[in-house]
Structure 1
Amino acid sequence: MELTDKLEILADAAKYDASCASSGAPKRNSIGKDGLGASTGMGICHSYTPDGRCVSLLKILLTNFCVYDCQYCVNRRTSNVPRARFTVQEVVKLTVDFYLRNYIDGLFLSSGIIQSADYTMEQLVAIARELRETHQFRGYIHLKTIPDADPALIAAAGLYADRLSVNIELPSQASIARLAPEKNVHTIKLAMGAIRLRLDEKAEEPKAPAFAPAGQSTQMIVGADASDDKHILGTAETLYSSYKLKRVYYSAFSPIPDSPKSVPLAPPPMQREHRLYQADFLLRSYGFQVSELLPGDGNLALDIDPKLAWALANREHFPMDLNRADAGMIARVPGIGLRNAQRIVELRRMRRVRYADLSRLRCSMKKVAPFIIVADYAPARDTTPSETLRRAMSDAPQQMNLWPELQAG
């Protein structure tokens, strides 16, 4: 099979893996050295660093052959799809050639399981090792790790990769046992724990060899089983606290031709995936807990974002006086983010905050207005029912302009 044909098959097969990011990679470049590539340049798969730079990654599978038969996976053993496999040298050549053509800044490499977990992991490590040691490649490398592989192989992967990821895929042992019988949650968590231990050791001994400086991540599939959003986010919350994951990624289940009857025949709403990402951000950055966002069982609202849903369910905190509240509570106001919350606190050290100040900070005034008090403004309808506010601020296009009418009334 021609290399271009393999690339077409294995790049397409990799699109289902959402855990592709380059945030947190150390700054490296080849200026004044014999190295190749950089992890700091502007850039096929696009990712973004914490400072907003766009990074292009070659996102491929080593192979889409797999001995596993995970029912939700397009590359499962019983799936009727075209198959291909790269050699180690082919992946190295593609990465180097694409970089020299200024197509990419790094590599995201995953794989189906071939022969055994150890054999597959050896192949992935060999690619990363050759890029780093033979070609002095200083770009970003993200390797998917195989949980059942020998811990020594996973440790070796961390010496060459910027980020490692171990995909848990489903939020419960019961779902994994039913849909991915060859996998085991315990094994997956052991691999995550081993990576965390290595990261902790590196943090305690800065002079030790670098190990996965961008940390580890995982992915959960949404809609392949009956798990609701509270269960999914609860699993994410546990993973963040137990294994210090950098990110949990969410991928809406995508039915494929000849899907088995054990999985749904229709995908979940894409908005559900979007809301999970929003809620995940609130967990990681705003100090929210799952029990606050979803006090009962069920799913996140699709028509409004999770922070607005929390505010509407907790009206006792609002309207909030921005000239008195602390930064943490101000950041919980719909339409005000973490950075603007801090700017508001800094501004009021000089003078009282006014309504025009929020506009200048480019806060989302449509969302902010019902929930705040400032020096020259208080909501005209602070007793407006939450359901009325919800309709006014829903993401549904036909309801976008209702709040001005409520204010005028």
Structure 2
Amino acid sequence: METIEKLKILSEDSQYDLACACGTNKYDHRRRGLDGRWLYPVSLPQGGYSVLLKTLLSNACTNDCKYCPLRSESNVRRCTLRPEEIANIFMGYYRRKKVFGLFLSSAVIGSPDFTMEKINSVARLLRERHEYRGYIHLKIIPGASDAAVEQAFSLATAVSLNIETPGNKHCSTLSPRKNYERDIIRPLKLMGKLTGEGMRFSKKKCTTQFIVGASDETDSEIIRYLFRIYDRLNFNRVYFSAYQKGLGNPDIPGEKRQLSMPDGHFLREHRLYQTDFLLRRYGFREEDFLLDKNGNLRLDKDPKQVWADSHPGFYPVRLNSSARRTLLRVPGIGPETVRRILRARREGRIRSIDALGVRGKRADTIRKYVIFE
């Protein structure tokens, strides 16, 4: 098979990793190039956006993850790119200024460490042979040895390993072959340790991702793990990928769940992203998320609004004197608006929402919860 034909197949198969697919503007969404490769958005340190070339090294998987369309039992067209092929393809795109960096993952070829050696070889070729010093994101394969993980850290700008499910019960439902503690939690803890304060790789970016809805997990289970990932492992981001009906084994819980809520899976993904943002940027804690009797977030209302409706005594907030943390509890006010408020307060008293440059429905919402004392 020709290299470009393999790239088209493997770029197509990389679409099942849906991180960044849920966004609020056109810059947050993945898009496909004319030659079939998937391009993912990335925020640049100096501001603005660029895109990453995203592909699998191989789709010839030996694993049995029941949610995955590339699982070993599936009838798909299999192929593998050699490390040299990926390195050459990427450098061609990079020299033509088509991409900013590389996002490389893979199915499990034989064993986790064999696969990691191929993944790391791509990065090593780029760094040493091509003298490329730009952005490389490498996926850690579940079950990879400590040595393979550390080598990936030494070569990459960012690394990630999908946590997939909140706990062993759900992992065993979706993949009887995987050992949750050994294959997923152990390397995640190692990643957290390697990027700890004062450690060699403290400046490396670490992320992970949940597959949402393939098992019968609740939002409360995901939120508990989400909080611990940030609190104990100091990861930069957690992503969520809504399971899509028809991609996996027909017997998994996610197939039956979507019969009862056909469009709810993407809205649920969106609510989890809102929850993640509230944890990272708004100072929310695990106990601040109010769930229904089944332990799930409400789909009809965002979690910040749910908290506000349940704490009427917290309001109205004094716009001219309240602390940043308090201001962030006001529906309609986010981190950027808080920065405007604090800046305006240094120059004098705020007398109206209009002075902050907020208009329309969001301004109407804020007025319900603040006073200009």
TM range (shorter): 0.7 to 0.9
Note if 1:4 corresponds to 2:7: no
Which residue number in structure 2 is paired with residue 317 of structure 1? 314
Aligned length: 347
Write out aligned runs for 1:145-224 (5 A): 145-187=140-182, 188-200=184-196, 203-204=197-198, 211=201, 213-224=203-214
Which residue number in structure 1 is paired with residue 120 of structure 2? 125
Which residue number in structure 2 is paired with residue 396 of structure 1? none
Deviation digits for residues 118-152 of structure 1, max 9, x if unmatched? 11011111110110111011221000112322211
For residue 243 of structure 2, what is the amino acid of its counterpart?
A: F
Which residue number in structure 2 is paired with residue 229 of structure 1? 219
Deviation digits for residues 257-304 of structure 1, max 9, x if unmatched? 573312433364312111111110100111101221125652222233
Q: What SS does the corresponding residue of 1:104 show, helix, strand or coil?
A: coil
Which residue number in structure 1 is paired with residue 327 of structure 2? 330
Contact 1:358/1:365, CA 8 A, preserved across alignment: no
Which residue number in structure 2 is paired with residue 287 of structure 1? 283
Q: What CA distance in whole angstroms lies between the structure 2 residues aligned with 1:79 and 1:2?
A: 23
Deviation digits for residues 11-70 of structure 1, max 9, x if unmatched? 11111223479xxxxxxxxxxxxxxxxxxxxxx222224664212111111101111100
Identical counterparts, % of pairs: 38
Higher mean C-alpha deviation, range 254-263 or range 131-140: 254-263
Which residue number in structure 1 is paired with residue 18 of structure 2? 18
Q: What CA distance in whole angstroms lies between the structure 2 residues aligned with 1:54 and 1:113?
A: 31
TM-score where L is the length of structure 1: 0.80
Q: What CA distance in whole angstroms lies between the structure 1 residues aligned with 2:169 and 2:308?
A: 34
Q: What CA distance in whole angstroms lies between the structure 1 residues aligned with 2:163 and 2:313?
A: 38
Note if 1:48 corresponds to 2:46: no
Write out aligned runs for 1:295-374 (5 A): 297-361=294-358, 364-374=362-372
Contact 1:64/1:84, CA 8 A, preserved across alignment: yes
User: Could you list the runs of 4 or more consecutive aligned residues of structure 1 that deviate by over 6 angstroms after TM superposition?
Assistant: none
TM-score where L is the length of structure 2: 0.87
For residue 297 of structure 2, what is the amino acid of its counterpart?
A: L
Q: What SS does the corresponding residue of 1:235 show, helix, strand or coil?
A: helix
Compared CA separation, residues 114 and 284, structure 1 to 2 (3 A): same
Which residue number in structure 2 is paired with residue 90 of structure 1? 85
Deviation digits for residues 285-325 of structure 1, max 9, x if unmatched? 11101221125652222233221221111111112221232
Contact 1:294/1:300, CA 8 A, preserved across alignment: yes
Deviation digits for residues 88-126 of structure 1, max 9, x if unmatched? 111111111111122111110111111111110111111
Which residue number in structure 2 is paired with residue 24 of structure 1? none
Note if 1:101 corresponds to 2:96: yes
Which residue number in structure 2 is paired with residue 41 of structure 1? none
For residue 136 of structure 2, what is the amino acid of its counterpart?
A: I
Q: What CA distance in whole angstroms lies between the structure 2 residues aligned with 1:223 and 1:336?
A: 30
Deviation digits for residues 187-209 of structure 1, max 9, x if unmatched? 21211222222222xx426xx5x
Note if 1:80 corresponds to 2:70: no
Gaps of 5+ in 2: 22-38
Q: What SS does the corresponding residue of 1:269 show, helix, strand or coil?
A: helix
Q: What CA distance in whole angstroms lies between the structure 1 residues aligned with 2:345 and 2:286?
A: 32
Q: What CA distance in whole angstroms lies between the structure 2 residues aligned with 1:141 and 1:169?
A: 22
Tell which structure's C-alpha radius of gyration is larger. 1
Compared CA separation, residues 258 and 221, structure 1 to 2 (3 A): closer
Q: What SS does the corresponding residue of 1:164 show, helix, strand or coil?
A: strand
